Amino acid sequence: YSEDFFGCIVRVLPKLIEHCNEQGIVNLCYSFAILGLLTGKHQEAFSMLWRKAITTESQKLSKEGVSQLLLVSSFLVAYGKEELPTYPLHPNLINKGGFSVTVSKSQKEVSAVLKDIGYDHEMEVSPFLSNESILPPDMLCIDMACKNKMIAIEFDGPTHFLQELGLGKVANVENGPTKAKRRFLEELDWMVINIPYYDWARAK
């Protein structure tokens, strides 16, 4: 990440909090979380932004904005930031609430091969083994998880990688959310194994 960029944000933080709209504040909190800046030198700045963000009523945000707040909440739990409140999960989201998980054909193929070689696992597993109601049941799920051994296998399709500007070509470089999810799972003591789609295609 750019230290200069986040340094500028910290310097003008009071004005940002005063003048930025609700979604802008949420976007900043999400950026801090995705880049792993919830602890360390920028944690005070994040705390100020977060205390502002969680006062936002969900009706004022898009579905994506609400998702961002819930994701940041989950990162707070994973990083042990108990001094900060989490964003309240609406009861409707616990039961279904418009979030959906799509299991790709390739992910099903990987799961079948794992079962054939004796790897016992479940698909689309919550990262929180205690079933904490931090997230809707279909957000940040582990693709294939062995709970007993705390092993998480993630199948990374093309949307998990950066695209070359102007070309739309997928580069073999993980994007921010993919890296952030791995850090998130590791903070929760999962051993994470990522299977990129291009490696799977070659193996087939």
What's the pLDDT tens digit per position in 124-168? 999 988 756 567 767 889 999 999 999 999 999 999 999 877 676
In a domain, 21, yes or no: yes
Given this model, what pLDDT does residue 97 score? 47
In a domain, 96, yes or no: no
* pTM, two decimal places: 0.85
Q: Distance between CA atoms of 16 and 21, rounded to whole angstroms? A: 9
User: What pLDDT band is residue 93 in, cutting at 50, 70 and 90?
Assistant: low
122 plus 82 within the same structural domain: no
Residue where a domain stops, chosen among 62, 88, 114? 88
Whole domain around residue 58: which residue ranges? Answer: 3-88
Given this model, what pLDDT does residue 103 score? 84
Query: Average pLDDT of the chain?
Result: 87
Residue 99 has pLDDT above 80, yes or no: no
In a domain, 94, yes or no: no
Q: Which of 7-11, 21-25, 91-95, 131-135 has the highest mean pLDDT?
A: 21-25
